[in-house]
Chain A
């Protein structure tokens, strides 16, 4: 690394208001540290406990989901965790490079969850849990339903083609102080 490159990266961080960015295999230990640092950041912006819990739930679920998706060996440790800020909102992103062959199936499940009306999410979540044998439960579907249920919003995601073999898949959650006060979340 050199100072010129560092300045370029810093400019990117500043222009998009990225606060923390970490690259790696977001395993349990690293996730715990990330949760702590996120907790401190959120405390500074006076986010209440309920909202914090939702964010932590999002981080844990997404990190676990991404860790379970099949990846090529060279991308096993290439996950990114990012906290960004836009105006008064904070955004939490988790992204990873996954195998192209996994992409369609994953997006199909996300779209399946996003197609459900918000007032039916909770019922679908419990239906999925109770209508199947444990071995038949799709953990990814349950996890996404859980996120949607808690955050009361559609799953925000993007996928970008990296090359023929790989896609970059990321999830995003927006923490808005406005949402805290206008009653949408409370």
Chain B
């Protein structure tokens, strides 16, 4: 009885908040591919138009690559995750992964910088970041965040939830509208 009540709880929450997909586990290239295929099938069911689907996929790929690159496991129960939610005319792509407290400030600064720019400024910033990333660590300039903001056309919503003395759960939410 216990397990089904838990499922029903999750089922009700998913319906109430229009969550259409949750994946909780480690991400490798194979798993990312499978999750993308599954999402594609799901979007076909939802009859999502091509342009929106493309935007959603672009944001998902950036988000999942970020997670795959930086993922860490605190214990056997806690893994990174992906959630996709649907609002009336938009979708939310939410990723979560663990981050060492030392890195929070850097990530926060990168996202805040991206969120402070308008469309044109973002385009210019992207060009600069790309040039910079050639001579520094790839992705170190926050290209993924810039790309997600550009492709979604919206500000990035994020939060850090402290999990233990050294780590927080970093949740990043990109809203993709038509």
Chain B 1-20 interface residues, beta-carbon cutoff 8 Å to A: 1, 3-11, 13-15, 17-20
Within 8 A of B (CB), among A82-99: 82, 84, 86, 91, 93, 95
A9 touches B83 (CB 8 A): yes
Q: How far is the CB of B89 from chain A (nearest CB, A)?
A: 14
Inter-subunit contact B24/A19 (CB<8 Å): yes
Contact with B along A19-43 (1 / 0, CB 8 A): 1111111010110111011001100
Q: Identify which of B59-67, B102-110, B115-123, B153-161 touches chain A.
A: B153-161
Whole-angstrom distance between the Cβ of B144 and the nearest chain A Cβ: 18
Q: State the Cβ distance, A20 to closest chain B Cβ, in Å.
A: 5
Closest A-chain residue to B160, C-beta based? Answer: A3
Q: Given A3-B158, A95-B8, answer yes or no on A23-B20 (Cβ-Cβ < 8 Å).
A: yes
Q: Of A6, A33, A82, A160, which contacts B10 at CB under 8 A?
A: A82
Residues A93 and B7 in contact in the complex (CB < 8 Å), given A21-B14, A30-B41, A33-B41: yes
Find out whether the CB atom of A6 lies under 8 angstroms from the CB atom of B83: yes
Residue B44 at the chain A interface, CB threshold 8 Å: yes
CB-CB under 8 A for A172 and B3, given A9-B83, A18-B10, A80-B11 = yes
In the bound complex, residues from chain B placing their C-beta under 8 Å from that of A34 are: 38
State how many residues of chain A have any CB contact under 8 Å with chain B: 47
Within 8 A of A (CB), among B64-122: 77-78, 81, 83, 85, 87, 92, 94, 96
> A78 → chain B, closest Cβ, in Å?
6
Main secondary structure of the interface of B (DSSP, over half): mixed
Quick check: A36 and B34 within 8 Å, CB to CB? yes
What residue in chain B is nearest A25 (Cβ atoms)? Answer: B45
Is A186 part of the contact surface with B, judged by Cβ < 8 Å?
Answer: no
Interface of A is mostly: mixed
Which of B14, B92, B96, B169 contacts A80 (CB under 8 A)? B14
Q: Which B residues are CB-close (under 8 A) to A16? A: 3, 6, 10
B25 an interface residue at 8 Å Cβ cutoff? Answer: yes
Contact of B45 among A7, A24, A158, A168 (CB under 8 A): A24
B22 contacts A21, CB within 8 Å? yes
Chain B hits for A172, CB < 8 A: 3-4
A95 to chain B, nearest CB (A): 6
Given A25-B45, A37-B38, answer yes or no on A18-B22 (Cβ-Cβ < 8 Å).
Answer: yes
Residues of A122-177 at the interface with B, using a CB-CB cut-off of 8 Å, are 158, 160, 168, 170, 172
* A contact set with B: CB distance below 8 Å: 1-10, 12-14, 16-25, 27, 29-30, 32-34, 36-37, 40-41, 77-78, 80, 82, 84, 86, 91, 93, 95, 158, 160, 168, 170, 172
Beyond the given pairs A3-B94, A24-B20, A33-B41, 16 more chain A to chain B contacts, judged by CB atoms under 8 angstroms and listed by A's residue number, are A3-B157, A3-B171, A7-B169, A7-B171, A14-B78, A21-B10, A23-B21, A29-B41, A29-B44, A34-B38, A78-B15, A80-B7, A158-B1, A160-B5, A168-B8, A172-B3
